[in-house]
Structure 1
């Protein structure tokens, strides 16, 4: 079953093999997850952070939590207004 989350931001770490997605759920709450992909493996991205179950009331709170929990993540890399 496909997720019904809407990805609001997807920020890649240098090298494009790790990223953090910040998303909105259908119920209006927000979350984030850290993903990894191996270029030689065609299966795509898979979660490695196990943060996707955490629930936040705003996108800003999800970004703050991602910054606190994912060592490389820097929310300042987002384009203002994006």
Structure 2
């Protein structure tokens, strides 16, 4: 894996704007996702809740499908 910062290719927010799932494209052309939360009292932006650690996907769509299975609120 490269040290280059991954590119956010999709950001899926809940209706409140307090949670999101980012689909990330890495320099070696694999994809992952990360779930984040924004705390209203915290002005530091998004905080990562978890990542699909060790789980890499060949396509953006595959990462999206995995996120919809793993993140309960995503399809509400």
TM-score band w.r.t. shorter chain: 0.7 to 0.9
Consecutive unaligned residues in structure 1, runs of 5 or more: 75-82
Residue in 2 aligned with 1:31? Answer: 32
Match for residue 43 of structure 2? 42
Look up the match of 1:62: 63
Residues of 2 paired with 1:29 and 1:13: CA distance?
Answer: 25
**Equivalents in 2 of 1:30, 1:50: separation in Å?**
12
Write 1 or 2 for the structure with the bigger share of strand: 2
1:19 match: 20
Report the alpha carbon displacement of residue 50 of structure 1 after superposing the two structures with TM: 2.9
The count of corresponding residues between Structure 1 and Structure 2 is: 73
Question: Any gaps of 5 or more consecutive residues in structure 2?
Answer: none
Cα–Cα, structure 1 residues 43 and 3, in superposed 2: closer, same or farther, change >3 Å? farther
Deviations 1:35-75 (CA, angstroms, capped at 9, x unpaired): 0011221111111123254210111110110011001113x
Moved over 6 A (4+): none
TM-score, reference length from structure 1: 0.79
TM-score for both structures, normalised by structure 2: 0.85
